[in-house]
């Protein structure tokens, strides 16, 4: 029985991790070289992706038999990008990124969450790009808050535990992460990247039950502003603010009605990469964003909370025996509810990342956990192949 269980884990890792050995980066299928009378020559088309089997083992056997402990998909995706030259320095651009839950696709029991989808539209957007006038895009894309603040500490495996993106109602809909119906404009002025965005009205989505009566979340619209200041080539400081009007609605029962909230996110982040070091930190304040766990329209969101994240890693070049480099690192986070819920979490992570030739990578982490609900420490292993 034990041998069979181990064999299943090995098969999962091999199937997810050994797809191709020929590519290192984006694959250019069409190169842009505009020629008169040849419309296709104006198009640059690229494809890339990442295959990511992952294992998370909670200490003390609290997760015995769970799909995460058995091995699951930690973010496999394939992406397509297009750049079509129009005139001067203006291009029409498009981007599509599809998430693939490989165990769910092949129906590997006990290797994916119950009810999990086979695929996920991670991003799909298009727009216009100009070196002079900037870039304007619309669609499902990374939020300005994530791009300017969150991405700076989205660099280890068990990360994003204390930042806003992905920790609210749902990052696909609440405007904090890879959300639908975002309009964004970016332009560069010397060392400063300026981001301005609109968060458009969205459909309502299920938000749980209040005594058997369905609740629904709806984003009504908002906006975001962000600035990335490149102090030097190695040091970047970013600050972003987001405001979104949202509503929790109950259509049945005694307590039916709407409760509107003004969701606010304010954050700042630093990224510094001197020589072989990578140092990063971010901090954010979240109002009417994190959930209390109370399923009624009045107390659904916590009034105020804050989070901090930090990372320090040093890369040792190897360049032999198929090993490119090795990066030991220390990272951590703290999330604290000030109102609406008595909860805090703190994670301290020790990890090592090894990059190999041909796009392969192995990450190993141990996470020391201190939370109000006494969650366990955990071990994490991720295999990764980028193409």
In sequence order, what DSSP letters do the residues of 183-239 get, joined into one string?
A: EEEEEEETTEEEEEEEE----EEEEEEETTEEEEEEEEEEEEEEEEEESSSSEEEEE
| Structural tokens at position 302 | 């916590």
- Please write the tens of the pLDDT for every residue from 96-145: 999 999 999 999 999 999 999 999 999 999 999 999 999 999 999 999 99
* Distance (Å, whole) CA 354 – CA 156: 12
Q: Quick one: the chain helix, strand, coil %, rounded to 5? A: 10, 55, 30
User: Residue 40: helix, strand or coil by DSSP?
Assistant: helix
Over residues 185-205, the mean pLDDT reads: 96
- Please write the tens of the pLDDT for every residue from 272-324: 999 999 999 999 999 999 999 998 889 999 999 999 999 999 999 999 999 99
Q: Evaluate the CA torsion angle 294, 297, 298, 302 in order and state its sign.
A: positive
- Residue 101's pLDDT is 97
- Higher-confidence position of 64 and 17: 64
* Distance (Å, whole) CA 42 – CA 1: 58
Q: Which residue has the tokens 């510094």?
A: 272
Over residues 167-186, the mean pLDDT reads: 95
Task: For residue 1, name the pLDDT band (cuts at 50, 70, 90).
Answer: very low
* Distance (Å, whole) CA 81 – CA 123: 11
Task: For residue 188, name the pLDDT band (cuts at 50, 70, 90).
Answer: very high
CB 43 within 8 A of CB 21: no
- Higher-confidence position of 7 and 263: 263
pLDDT of residue 19 exceeding 60, the answer is no
Over residues 21-49, the mean pLDDT reads: 84
- Residue 289's pLDDT is 96
- Residue 348's pLDDT is 98
Per-residue DSSP letters for 251-310?
Answer: -SSTT-EEEEEEEEEEEEEEEE--TTEEEEEEEEEEES-SB-S--SSSSSB-SEEEEEEE
| Structural tokens at position 305 | 């909370």
Q: Classify the phi-psi angles of 190: left when phi > 0, otherwise alpha if psi is within -120 to 50, otherwise beta.
A: left
CB 362 within 8 A of CB 142: no
* Distance (Å, whole) CA 294 – CA 255: 14
- Please write the tens of the pLDDT for every residue from 132-169: 999 999 999 999 999 999 999 999 999 999 999 989 99
- Residue 361's pLDDT is 98
* Distance (Å, whole) CA 274 – CA 290: 35
> Phi, psi (5° rounding) for residue 67?
-65, -30
- Please write the tens of the pLDDT for every residue from 326-374: 999 999 999 999 999 999 999 999 999 999 999 999 999 999 999 999 9
Task: For residue 65, name the pLDDT band (cuts at 50, 70, 90).
Answer: confident
* Distance (Å, whole) CA 326 – CA 316: 5
Q: Which residue has the tokens 């200490």?
A: 59
pLDDT of residue 10 exceeding 80, the answer is no
Domains and CATH numbers, the chain: 1-52+72-133 (no CATH), 142-386 (2.40.160.10)
Per cent of the chain over pLDDT 90 is 84
CB 272 within 8 A of CB 234: yes
- What global pTM score does this model have? 0.91
């Amino acid at each position: 029985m034990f041998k069979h269980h181990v064999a299943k884990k090995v098969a999962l890792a091999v199937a997810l991790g050994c797809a191709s050995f020929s590519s290192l980066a984006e694959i250019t299928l069409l190169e842009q070289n505009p020629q008169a009378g040849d419309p296709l020559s104006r198009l640059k088309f690229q494809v890339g992706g990442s295959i990511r089997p992952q294992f998370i083992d909670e200490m003390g056997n609290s997760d015995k038999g769970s799909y995460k402990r058995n091995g699951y998909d930690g973010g496999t995706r394939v992406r397509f990008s297009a750049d079509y030259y129009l005139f001067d320095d203006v291009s029409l651009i498009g981007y599509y990124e599809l998430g693939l839950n490989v165990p769910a696709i092949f129906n590997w029991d006990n290797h994916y969450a119950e009810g999990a989808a086979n695929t996920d539209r991670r991003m799909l957007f298009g727009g216009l790009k100009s070196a002079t006038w900037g870039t304007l895009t619309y669609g499902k894309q990374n939020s300005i808050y994530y791009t300017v603040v969150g991405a700076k500490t989205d660099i280890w495996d068990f990360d994003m535990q204390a930042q806003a993106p992905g920790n609210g109602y749902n990052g696909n809909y609440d405007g904090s992460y890879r959300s639908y119906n975002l309009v964004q404009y970016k332009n560069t002025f010397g060392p400063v990247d300026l981001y301005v965005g609109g968060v458009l009205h969205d459909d309502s989505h299920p938000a749980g039950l209040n005594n058997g009566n369905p609740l629904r979340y709806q984003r009504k619209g908002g906006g975001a502003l962000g600035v990335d200041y490149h102090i030097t080539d190695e040091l970047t400081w970013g600050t972003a603010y987001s405001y979104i009007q949202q509503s929790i609605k109950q259509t049945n029962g005694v307590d039916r009605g709407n409760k509107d909230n003004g969701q606010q996110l304010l954050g700042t982040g630093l990224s510094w990469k001197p020589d072989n070091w990578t140092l990063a930190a971010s901090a954010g304040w979240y109002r009417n964003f994190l959930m209390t766990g109370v399923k009624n329209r009045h107390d659904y969101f916590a009034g105020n909370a804050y989070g901090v994240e930090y990372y320090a890693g040093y890369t040792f070049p190897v360049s032999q025996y198929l090993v490119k480099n090795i990066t030991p690192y220390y990272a951590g986070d703290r999330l604290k509810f000030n109102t609406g819920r008595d909860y805090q979490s703190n994670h301290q992570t020790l990890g090592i990342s090894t990059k190999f030739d041909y796009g392969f990578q192995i990450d190993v982490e141990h996470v020391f956990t201190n939370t109000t609900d006494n969650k366990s420490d955990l071990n994490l292993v991720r295999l990764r192949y980028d193409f």
